[in-house]
A and B are shown apart, each in its own frame.
Chain A
């Protein structure tokens, strides 16, 4: 009887302690008015659970009048719960050389279950012609 009560208490506490799923409902026009320049991408997946929670839907690029590239990656959380991750963007010049910047950082982001998130980045210089986007699970000690 006591064991049953403890098991029930544990179940109740687990359910209430962050295991609750949260899923996002969305609505958007059935036909998009925007003209997207979608680029083909190459994906390297080393963390399968992250790639499920942060699934890349697509990548599009636009260039402005002064030649700065703007990129957007759309990701979807296919799981049922909130997922935190970091996202960082590396830029490369026309020779494929990495462009080092003092503003380089791993942006912390979070995405609710079922949510679609648009992550944008702007090239720091018109010399930036290429890029790489990296996603990482939270690192805590």
Chain B
């Protein structure tokens, strides 16, 4: 595997710029470096609607149709655009958001659907594709970052899948929060003082140095890099502490766990964490779809709108892309338990903020929501769109062995209509 980390090159260029400003200028004039600059300081928050939210009770309502369910649609602040009445707050906050109503991803099974929407391509034996977070941590993060570059919160147990950074390597695995609101092992244990902890780390380094130098090996190097980051990451534990936020801000995000995690996500991206995933489980409403969405949409509506407001007020929305996405949508057909089942042929997601043409609704489904009639997109197209919004060329390739692997799936195209 031969992965060129442009960020570290830029940093290297920056260091040498002290000696010669000219060198840095020349480097920056190269296209790769311009590309690098375009995505500096960009972040992503993925609101992962695990289990599969219903497009009909969110972004693509069909009231009055046999498939429409009981809820009405409401007029949004965008002329002619209507969404479900379960999202009243979002209806007035679509200026920075693009709604995509034409996903056809075909796979309506949790495991494989998750794989597809997490990696933007189908599984292929013999190659381990990285997931979106790992790709973006790799593209947007810094190799020696003092803050985590990929935090994933998945506190519900159902459908929890950690995924893997695949061929990008374990360096890009997430800090995965499952039980607590703070990553495991990031806080100083009570059994050791801060001074001793620091000195112990220094002693470890002393005892490691000669071996690391003489072995001159990338794997050994990654070991030292991982330990080098420990103290920095421990120092970032305050990012997970929402008690440091003013009461008004905590109240604004509200008392639900999803709200609190959205607030943590905002604190993280504010501190420079390039990718944060907040998984909101579990939308798998085979029974009682309408009651489930009444509960979960209220949570989504409140938390997503508060997050967008907060990012906007801080001037961060221009550089932060907020994605709401799950593994699939839900069947237009309503079953006997007033539930909706798995459905991947015509469903919706949203993109807000960085690089997105706000106020856009892209794609159409038929009157009953059974098929996509306009602007069909698959997972690869969505990923290409996400990369483009962040200034990453969707044509970029990784070399895995002798095999070039495009960053977004073969044959995928970014959707220019939703890009600013």
Are A and B part of the same complex?
no
